[in-house]
Structure 1
Amino acid sequence: MYFTGFACTSCDATYGPKEDLLLCPKCSNLLEATYNLDAMKRELDRDALRRRSGGVWAWQDFLPIVDADAIVSLGEGGTPMLRCDRLARLVGVRELWVKSDAANPTGSLKDRSITVSATKAVEFGYHVLSCDSTGNKASSVAAYAARAGLASVVFCPEDTPVPKVMQSLFFGAKVIRVRGHYAQINAMYRRLIHSGRLKWYDCGTDNPYRYEGKKTYAYEIARDLSWQLPDRVIHPANGGMSIAKAWKGFRELHRLGWIDRLPKMSGVQAAACDPIVRSWLARDSTVAPIEKNPTVAGALAGADPGMLGARALDAIYNSGGAMVGVEDPEIFEAMKLLALEGLFIEPSGAVPIAGLRRLVAGGQVDPGERVVCVVTGSGFKDSDRIAEQVEIPIDVVEGYQAMLAAAEQVG
């Protein structure tokens, strides 16, 4: 085991690897998992790791677990990396790869992190997993709780897409719908968890174990590109922790000497709810809450990213990346462009393509760049929004001759 514990990102307090923690007990700031990278450099071989089967857990040496027998997995990670030359031409870059986390077991990126938090819940002896969520995290928590034989409780906004609510319910979760937007619900949920009145394992915003699963983006991208890093990685941003943790993963690989360069980390938000974009444009180091406005990208509608947003900004500044906001019509167009490559992606997951187009048009991305866009959720997760963009045929044919006549009209 190379996991050595946690360090506070604010007061530098350190904690051991077996402690059940959320925020720093001393100052209530975020905790960062630490590893013995010197030992890893001596003992691990990147090509041997590359040959390991499995997804997220092929990288268990890089993850904060103590007991490998406690691992709760549904086969997450190892998601497709697709070279998309047609899409590259349409958005205006030399080379474009799309990493589709829609292929995860519950259809979204959340499985990468929830597999880790469910594993820690088993290690620590909990019986209930819980979270607040705009939908995808709730589905994932419910699925991994079921896999582990645990109960689950999830808190969602009342306007959470029905397919995400149904998925959570089908896996056996207790779904509590709450009136208000996500930032308000998140604040109430965190107060509930930190009250000490519930013996639930929090898979939400403050869990430092859970977020380590997001690093595996970096490992998979590097491996799938034969350790030749892209110029830029673009990811959707709600709180922004996926950007921060992928950046951590790339830096770990760089310190091990497994890669010789680092990518520019870039993020995309819906223009209607873009607190991190506003801070980046102002060159601020923190993210202030904003008024939430409606957007088709509901999973990104976090009006107050708080400490997580500051971590994302740090990754973007230090990597030379960018943040950009995109309008709803651009998001729908990005979904249609991804469909040209055979990818069915929900609005919140498709924003990297819209953001890349805007960054190229604005001169912030060089057309000669090699880019990886991470798309994060299946279109089935928000199918009502997609149904608005297509026209279901009204006419129904009957019999072979009618089928033949209809086929001949197509040509």
Structure 2
Amino acid sequence: MPGAVAGRGGDYATLTFTMPTDRDVEITVSKIATPLKIENGLPVDSLGSYFGSPYDGWTYNSGVETKELNKAMTIEDWYTADLENNAVKWRITNNGILQNGIIRNSVTNNGTVKDVTCTSDFINNGEIISGVFSRYAKFGKQNPAVRWVTVNGGTVNGMTTAGVVGEQEVTITALDGFKCWSVAGDTDFTLTEEQKHTNPLTLKLNGEDKGTVILTAQSEEGYYPLNLTDGKVYSVTADGAKDKEITAARAGDTVILEADATLIPDGMVFDRWEITGNTELTGGFDASAEKTQFIMPNTGVTIRAMYRMADVEEPDVLGTVAVVATAGVGAAVLGWTGYQLGTELYLKTALPAGTAIPTNRAELALLVWNHAGKPAPAAVLPADATDTQKAIAWAVENDLLKAAKDNGETYVDTDSVSRVEVIRVWNKAQEK
């Protein structure tokens, strides 16, 4: 129609024209899918808009324009969202087709997913054609065949444990100091000699094969793993400066340890480093310092940053910090603080009589699950699932424990928990 102008205003398409006086006008509206493009982790349409609309086939952040990450996207039931193998941090509600990408946030699938990696929560109300999913995925009524892969000393598509549905190519990556892979689990799964010495290792797996594959990264002689929670470890240059981030080190190497400030919970401040086991760190290690260093021992080190409320002042009492020095060896050992004593006394009062205070994720999940009467989790678990697996699945479903870290990796049963976290989870469980 001469002079007609098409446009768009918010969720509405507009057509402006002058109505002719000598004939009727018939207007036909058809949906035109707007290709989903990703720039700097954000979705954009052909006009460079951040928010999209139902007419585009997708809506980002409920139509509110923003440059912030970690927002939500809804995919319409008539649309195919192709992520083109990008990794995104959006919470996604999929009513159409979602394919070809890595989603490092929760996904609710009411449509179809294909060739995706979902590293966080995944709730399936639709159809899974293929994909790689975290161990906290809820596959729903479809209950597809799954082949589970666990990597000790490494990751599979960024996770320590993942389930493969359909035929998928996965990437197995080892920590620093890699020597070779060893295989356990299903006896019908093997690696060639070349694959055993390849890192990263690409494998084609099929969920129809079912079962479990366990790959363990063997380290070069003298290398030991660094298992960090809320912290990072760096190698040191010849002049003592911080070098690259590492996940394993040779015995005798000096390394730098730093708390990750971006992961400190709101309202809390760094308190100390907590070491799992009886490992003693030397070489200037200060357990109360956000940035410190130590000499790598001839064993693996598991350590995490602990926090306290920002408005809690630790009293200067005898025994707050005990510095132990022996001939030729210096080691800093953090003793009980007033804050620790307070949380311990609180928990001894709050928890059932005789209950040991949980020290890791598995113990905490079992505590609240047992106290709730051992309810069955909604997730479809293996027939031989242990009480620990049931407890953790239930705790995640009820928002008592988190399923995935901000970087997309899943937590493991042996991850240590602070007394602050025990208090938070216990109180929240009582509310439920």
- TM-score relative to the length of structure 1: 0.28
**Bigger relative contact order, structure 1 or 2, given CA contacts below 8 A and separation 6+?**
1
**Max Rg structure:** 2
Kindly indicate which of the two structures has a greater share of residues assigned to helix: 1
Kindly indicate which of the two structures has a greater share of residues assigned to strand: 2
